[in-house]
Homo-oligomer: A and B are copies of this chain.
């Protein structure tokens, strides 16, 4: 059985959890909760599983492990091709990869930057992983600025599209959705005038995979 190391309160593994749900695999994969609040990811036991001290981790039936959303989802896409979540023809596959990258770099990382460089509970934990890094308050400010611009960018992308990468739901929507839900939890406000983004968000919110 495939094993998925998860944490229900964290936005990175949520992407993989939602991906698994969209593939209809929720009950076929063993889920192990890692308690990030108690820093279980930094324990020697978990370090043996993942030296990078992060979730998600996906462990295949033959014991191979992947330590990033990118690696976990790539494996699941090829092992369980239906429904496709990374595009079908070469143009769509490339557009999904392109948008997935943008959602992560311009969105997900920016939200993380704003939180991790300001939350009192994350002092010295400005980056995930085994090493401690001091918070940089200016980076929290810059992260907040970037998140605002990200909302505008996503709204623009959705001008002539139902989904982030075109006419089909994909991993790019999952990353964008997990990013924006997380930003919402952190009290970022989606601008009133971002009507495409609001319409898209309502659409994605109606998917059962957002509830897992």
Pick the residue among B52, B66, B67, B93 that contacts A74 (CB under 8 A).
B93
Q: Verify if A75 is at the interface (C-beta below 8 Å from B).
A: yes
Q: Are B136 and A149 in touch, CB under 8 angstroms?
A: no
State the Cβ distance, A60 to closest chain B Cβ, in Å: 7
User: Chain copies in the assembly?
Assistant: 2
Q: Are B149 and A131 in touch, CB under 8 angstroms?
A: yes
Chain A interface secondary structure, helix, strand, loop or mixed?
Answer: helix
Instruction: Report the bound CA distance from A156 to B51 in whole Å.
Output: 11
Interface residues on A, range: 35 or more
Which of A69, A74, A133, A149 has the most chain B CB atoms closer than 10 A to its own CB? A74
Q: Are A90 and B75 in touch, CB under 8 angstroms?
A: yes
Contact with B along A49-74 (1 / 0, CB 8 A): 00110000000101010111111111
7 closest cross-chain pairs (CB), A and B? A71-B98, A75-B94, A78-B90, A74-B97, A70-B101, A68-B101, A74-B94
